Structure 1
Amino acid sequence: MEISDIKNLRIAIIGGGYGGASAAKALQSIGAENVHVYEQAPALAQVGAGIGLRPPSVELFRKWGMFQAIEAVSSPSDHLEILTADGGHVLATEEWPFMHAYAQVNHNRMIHRGDFIDALLSVLKEGTVHLGHKLSGIEDNGTDATLTFENGNTVTADLVIGADGIRSTIRHQLFSQKEPVFSGEHAYRAVISIDDAHGLVTDDNPRFYMGQNGTIAYNLPLRHRGQLSYDITARSEDRSWAPEITTDYLVNLLEGFDERIIQVAKELDLSTVTSRSVFDIDPLDSWHTGCVALLGDAAHAMLHHQGQGANSAILDADGLAEALLQGSSVPEALALYQAHRKPLTDELQRVSRQGWHADVVGSAFPANA
């Protein structure tokens, strides 16, 4: 499409998380001026835990002119380490893929999810984000789509991007009514002070401790914050969205683990622990109509084991922007976007479902992950 056509497109993005905010930045970077993000929350709060931004994502931040904003709130990591539960044996140590694939070295950036979203929102044009807009319905009119929000507002846009997460309203109403798929696992996450980490943090590199019973302790350092993102993933048959846990339960899960990991669990303030059942979705047949497209978790929510959820959403955002530049119309661009991104994310969903297993770890990064 011509830059003048992109400039005048009415674009509505549903969801103000990292997928929606990345899409807004990518689109504004190619000249789109009428981009609006609609977020259901009445205010944006610092929530979540640590994530790793992979080198290809970091390269896009350079491309979008916002690397310094990310650099200021993150720490550089050069490798991932996988260990036995007790920490006595290293199963794999590998450099982050694509770290040296660009003109400048792009380390994996360890960042708090809240800081990441804040950094993204800080580089968007004023007036881009609209809070308190929970989507209640969408009508695809063919050449445009009309959005209805619970606050009574309606919006019609030439391009609608559904970045509204694993429980996407847009996906449910237009693409698939299949429910998210329970993985048989729970994730318990907390962000603690390095002073309370009992020496687990020695550098900026994540370490995964692998239990034989399927329990994994993920330790993601956030040294720029003086913190550690502490994550226990364990098998469970409880499908409730936010299961209740006790300290004794966590400690029992960690039998045989490094004593430092157990001690952290004993000292956790459970009111600061995010407890979630782990879900993903089955790959969809299609992500788009002529004027509506899905992005990020709404299109391909995947399990967290490979750390590809946020990174895939970021790459989706760039893929969508590039497709608009290449296609002659919105429908053609959306077809190009899906053709480029869907095979990649289908494979990442498959690999992420394999998870990690202490007895078969031979590489930190399976193919295509």
Structure 2
Amino acid sequence: MQTSDLKNLKIAIVGAGYAGAASAKALSLLGADVDVYEQAGQIREVGAGIGLRPSSMDRFRQWGIFDAIAKVSSPSDYFEILTATGDPIMKDTWPEIDDFAEETKTHLIHRGDFIEALLGVLPEGMVHLGHKLESIQDKGDSSVLTFANGRTVEADLVVGADGIKSVVRQNLFSDKAPVFSGEHAYRAVISVDDAHGMVVDDNLRMYIGRGTKIYLLPLRHRGQVSFDVTTLCADGSWSPAATKDDLMAAVQGFDERLVGIARDLDMSAVNIRAVYDIDSVDTWHSDSVALVGDAAHSMLHHQGQGANSAILDAGGLADALREADSVKEALALYQATRKPMTDELQRISRQGWTEDEINDVFPGQKPAAQQPQD
């Protein structure tokens, strides 16, 4: 699109998480009039650590925010996969390190630090808190958002960045419910001093046992480590009432140091949730609305690609608006470019367990899609 057309473009982004904040940065650099509407009254990111791949870090370099992300993260050279007792399975450098003009490493970062850094590079006043989306009316060349606080907003382009329970997706593109993976995730951030000597560098390690995986993701720039236990379980409640005994049963048979970390955890500081994704959505866009991030392709965390895919969506959407002659053409180009990649990542991410492991928890069947239980 012409620079003058982009500067006259009014864009409303629903959601101020990774996808929304990244989209706001990328689209505002086009010169468009961008506003972000977030349902929460304050931004508070729970969870633990993630890895920002070289392709994401290169986007940050293009957007002029590489240093803002780098100063609250640790560069990592490789990842390692081991058995439950620590025997090596594979060790490899992160993909894409040498794919860009400069050597670009994966950066390990706390989710809270990441969203704070992203929001911190947006212009003051761009993000509007306390705006819970109730409905969206697609009028063809524009769309109207109606919020629970009574406000309505009309925009030339609406970006649905409102997560796995996306109101935008459910109103316009797919009313399918999230799919329970048959997993529980226990996530905590602990001091490196409490890691029983298992954190010696800035590289991710995953330990694989029967029906359980443990991820150790160092956050040494803040003197901490992200400890994640993902285990097969039949309870699909969004926030299951899991206990320390449940956690200890999941880590049985692992390296005694990992068992020790789990034993020492204060369960009140552990984020426990059932793990969901969504089935592939056929269409991400209309002529004036597009989905990004989890709203478009929420995926399981086994490949560590959720946040990275959201960032690349943001970059891909901005690229398409530059290249195409109209918003309508740009949104079609955006989906054609990004969807094949995220479809494949969704597929691969669902291959986390053997049939025998699944049959231990779901005898004779695989975990079925089901309505989330609140």
Residues 197-220 of structure 1: per-residue CA shift (max 9 Å, x gap): 111111000100000x22000111
* Structure 1, gaps ≥5 residues long: 360-369
- Among 187, 190, 200, the residue aligned to 1:189: 187
Matched, 1:349 2:339: no
Q: Residue 161 of structure 1: SS of its match in structure 2?
A: strand
- 1:11 maps to 11
Corresponding letter in the other structure for 1:3? T
In the alignment, the residues of structure 1 paired with residue 171 and residue 97 of structure 2 have an alpha-carbon distance, to the nearest angstrom, of: 39
The DSSP-based 3-state class of the residue aligned with 2:134 is: strand
TM-superposed deviation, 1:356:
5.6
Other-structure match for 2:362: none
1:257 equivalent among 248, 254, 259? 254
For 1:358 and 1:188, the matched residues in 2 are separated by: 23
Aligned to 1:109: 107
Alignment partner, residue 292 of structure 1: 289
Task: Report the CA distance shift for 1:111/1:224 in structure 2 as closer, same or farther (over 3 A).
Answer: same
After superposition, residues 46-61 of structure 1 pair within 5 angstroms as 46-61=45-60
Q: Specify the alignment match of 2:371 in structure 1.
A: none
Instruction: Give yes or no for the alignment of 1:85 onto 2:84.
Output: yes
Contact map agreement 2:46 2:271 (CA 8 A) in 1: no
**Match in the other structure for 1:267:** 264
Q: Could you tell me how far apart the structure 2 residues matched to 1:358 and 1:7 are?
A: 53
Q: How does 1:1-369 map to 2 (within 5 A)?
A: 1-32=1-32, 34-87=33-86, 89-211=87-209, 213-355=210-352
Q: State the distance in 1 between where 2:104 and 2:15 align.
A: 28
SS at match of 2:227: strand
- CA deviation string 1:165-192 (max 9, x = no partner): 0000000010011001111111110011
Q: Structure 1 counterpart of 2:29, which letter?
A: S
RMSD: 1.2
Q: Is the 8 A contact 1:22 1:120 kept in 2?
A: yes
What is the rounded CA distance, in whole Å, between the counterparts of 1:271 and 1:136 in structure 2? Answer: 33
Q: CA deviation at 1:105?
A: 1.1
Q: How has the CA–CA distance of structure 1 residues 358 and 272 changed in structure 2, closer, same or farther, with 3 Å as cutoff?
A: farther
Matched position secondary structure for 1:100: coil
Indicate conservation of the 8 Å contact 1:184/1:278, yes or no. yes
TM-score, normalised by the number of residues in structure 1:
0.95
Contact 2:158 2:290 (8 Å CA) reproduced: yes
CA deviation digits over 1:231-270, x for unaligned, max 9? 0000011010011111122111111101111111111111
* Large movers: runs of 4+ above 3 Å: 356-359
Q: What is the DSSP-based 3-state SS (H/G/I as helix, E as strand, rest coil) of the residue aligned with 2:20? A: helix
Identity among equivalent positions (%) equals 63
Q: Which amino acid aligns with 1:71?
A: A
Aligned equivalents of 1:237 and 1:335: distance in 2? 39
For the residue of structure 2 that corresponds to 1:200, the secondary structure is coil
SS at match of 1:354: coil
Deviation digits for residues 16-38 of structure 1, max 9, x if unmatched? 00000000001112222x10010
User: SS of the residue aligned with 2:350?
Assistant: helix
* Count of equivalent residues: 356
